[in-house]
Amino acid sequence: RTMPKDKASGKPQFEKKDYDVSPNVLCWLCWCPITYGFSLCTIPYKSILELGPEEVVKTDTTCCGKSTANMPYGELGHVGKSNCCCCVGFSSAFGPVTPGCGCEEALVMEIVEDMKQRQQGRGDQGQIQRQEAMMEEIETINTKLDAIMDHLKMERS
């Protein structure tokens, strides 16, 4: 699948996509207490994965509140399909995610493919941008250090 590219930068353009990766209500009621214990404050009954142009946002809603985690594509680590017994899901730096009741293989494959494309299109770019920012900071520090050495009339090596 070919992505449209930004005319100015040549980078792939990605539109925002939302995926509902919530567990099925029956699975949540039956399996989550067995798997995670009976603390309903830690078990999300609703999970939304938002694939933005530059980062992924995962929002989990529990009986006690809502939590949101943002992560640039370059920090996602390995993204791949995972199987546990007869259930299918995917994993990344967000941890394992099993949409529905673990039978949503088409959805899982779509999410994995989409995340990998965005990771390739943005992950490398994000690392390059961070390296460029670091190099600018080093250059600023070197300039300041040179000024201090000149002021103190110190020799440079």
Higher-pLDDT residue of 4 and 116 is 116
User: What is the per-residue pLDDT across 125-140, written as a single tens digit (0 to 9) for each?
Assistant: 666 677 778 888 999 9
Distance of alpha carbon 18 from alpha carbon 156, whole angstroms: 56
Q: What is the mean pLDDT of the chain?
A: 83
Distance CA 6, CA 14 (A): 10
pLDDT of residue 157 exceeding 80, the answer is: no
Cα three-residue angle 39-41-46, rounded to 5 degrees: 115
pLDDT of residue 10: 60
Q: What is the DSSP string of 24-43?
A: PHHHHHHHHHHHH-S-TTTS
Report d(CA 132, CA 25) in Å as an integer: 47
Confidence of residue 107 (pLDDT cuts 50, 70, 90): very high
CB 27 within 8 A of CB 100: yes
